[in-house]
Structure 1
Amino acid sequence: MIVGGWNTNKLVQIYDINRKSFKPLKSTLYERDGSTIVKINNHVYTAGGLRSNFVECLDLNQVDGDWYKLASMNEQRQFAASAVLNDQMCVAGGSDGVNALSSVELYNPVVNIWTNIASMQTKRWQHALVSYNGRLYTFGGGEKLLILNHLNSMKSYDPREGKWKSLKPMNEGRHGLCSVVYNDEIYAIGGDGLSVERYNIRTNTWTNVNSLKHERYGSCACVVNGKIYVIGGGYGDASKSIEAYDATINEWKIETNMETARDDALVVAL
């Protein structure tokens, strides 16, 4: 499912990777430019965006139905990052329109409540956040809005300890990257460039893999049927393309082209 993006008029589509076809769904209630998205127990949740702390949900049991509003986040967040932690939606960092944020919020869908957990040690926006084996991992992004510094640092959060700790930094700084967990490793994809690297959680090391076909800034990614799919972002042809990575041959290839450019959009595997 691909949701929103810059100047897409709340567009929501499902992309069938086998047929390489797109199916439109009901539009979101709010513009979703630089928002966040997760899937929990057959529901899709999207939060934040430009000057927004609004949250909405789609029940996949009624995939052709309407999106509905939920409790708002405590802070407005654009260009934040999200992941699922213990069946809750975690949203970290982002921009409130004036400053980058280090705060982190956790949404419990059972009681429809947001609560703050320990803040990241660094302010981050246009960064990455993934969850693996009950822990969060955040990396990359920028620390200030007006100065595009490209962070390469990585931190992990263990909810049992309630604090963040430093891990091996990436080989290069990445702002506007996207990320997935794939074959038990974490991939840092693009961000003002073609390069891609993966993190081995057991050995705490980063290794470069083959580069993208297009430079991608503000793209989004998910894993389906054993491949990584990266959607939009970047400039020109890149913003309308989807490319896929096959780890068995360490190769990226253009999968298809979309009719609508997708910059700072959202994607979740169904």
Structure 2
Amino acid sequence: MWGSTSVKIDNHVYTAGGRSSNFVDCLNLNQVDGDWYKVAFMNKQHQYAASAVLNDQMCVAGGRDGGNNVLSSVELYNPVVNTWTHIAPMQTKRCQHALVCYNGRLYTFGGGEFLNRLNSMESFDPREGKWKLLKPMNEKRRALSGVVDNDEIYAIGGDELKSVERFNIRTNTWTNVGSLNHVRLGSCACVVNGKIYVIGGRDDDASKSIEAYDATINEWKIETNMETPRWDASVVAL
């Protein structure tokens, strides 16, 4: 579904939301040639939301609802009991943003509300039950991708951007690292074998290409091309 978001939990892939949708589909990777099947719907429609895994549950934050309203709401899916519950909303309404989890905390950054781009970052600690603002990024980024690698958070690309920056959680600081080869709007990213892979996205002929970041040399290299152009898609590492 266009503008959906995905995670992997216990060898299951969950894909949630998308255009005017609160549907959630699941793929059981333990079943050979298994089909996708529906699980409990989210409480709200979420398009251009972001997701992460928090304590073996799928967290979906922000996005747009069916009326094109940008959301601050956050929902948590428990696959054991097949239910969605609300947790504290973000301080800022966000869509086309990034969300990651590290050491039991959620971190969301960037995105926007229509033409307004954000560089703000906030974090949610389940023990405190609320979101707190952290150091903003160096650049405003809408339709970026984000990952955690080697205990640091990466904010990758975005609308009209090749630049990438890295957040040190201990020092609460952002530092620019090597830039992408292409501008990437609406790409998706994951970490495999110590490398960050960024897939697709619009602008600058990026929609079929995949590039990887090697932190040891601080450089992005084009790895391969997909057969099908993709943007506003989602990816999980198996």
Query: Normalization by structure 1: what TM-score?
Result: 0.86
Match of 1:76? 45
Select the residue among 121, 146, 154 that pairs with 2:91.
121
For residues 215 and 33 of structure 2, the distance between their equivalents in structure 1, rounded to whole angstroms, comes to: 34
Q: 5+ residue gaps in structure 1?
A: 1-31
Instruction: Give the alignment's Cα RMSD to 1 decimal.
Output: 0.8
Structure 1 residue identity aligned to 2:83: I
* Cα offset, 1:259, TM superposition: 1.0
Match of 2:137? 170
1:47-196 to 2 correspondence within 5 Å? 47-97=16-66, 98-142=68-112, 144-145=113-114, 148-192=115-159, 193-196=161-164
For residues 248 and 228 of structure 1, the distance between their equivalents in structure 2, rounded to whole angstroms, comes to: 12
Match of 1:204? 172
1:239-258 to 2 correspondence within 5 Å? 239-258=207-226
225 and 236 in structure 1: CA distance in 2 versus 1, 3 angstrom threshold: same
Deviation per residue, 1:125-171 (Å, 9 max, x gap):
000000000000000000x23xx111000000000000000100000
Residues 49, 63 of structure 2: 8 Å contact kept? yes
Match of 1:264? 232
For residues 97 and 48 of structure 2, the distance between their equivalents in structure 1, rounded to whole angstroms, comes to: 8
Residues 139, 154 of structure 1: 8 Å contact kept? yes
210 and 63 in structure 1: CA distance in 2 versus 1, 3 angstrom threshold: farther
Residues 94, 111 of structure 2: 8 Å contact kept? yes
Structure 2 residue identity aligned to 1:170: M
Structure 1 residue identity aligned to 2:117: H
224 and 63 in structure 1: CA distance in 2 versus 1, 3 angstrom threshold: farther
Select the residue among 224, 238, 243 that pairs with 2:206.
238
Q: Percent identity?
A: 81
* Cα offset, 1:236, TM superposition: 5.3
Residues 244, 255 of structure 1: 8 Å contact kept? yes
For residues 65 and 227 of structure 2, the distance between their equivalents in structure 1, rounded to whole angstroms, comes to: 31
Q: For this pair of structures, how many residues does the alignment match?
A: 236
Structure 2 residue matching 1:207: 3-state secondary structure: strand
Is 2:11 the partner of 1:42? Answer: yes
Structure 2 residue matching 1:237: 3-state secondary structure: coil
Residues 180, 187 of structure 1: 8 Å contact kept? yes
For residues 185 and 28 of structure 2, the distance between their equivalents in structure 1, rounded to whole angstroms, comes to: 30
Residues 214, 234 of structure 1: 8 Å contact kept? no
For residues 106 and 94 of structure 2, the distance between their equivalents in structure 1, rounded to whole angstroms, comes to: 15
63 and 76 in structure 1: CA distance in 2 versus 1, 3 angstrom threshold: farther
Greater than 3 Å deviation, 4+ residue runs: none
Structure 1 residue matching 2:205: 3-state secondary structure: helix
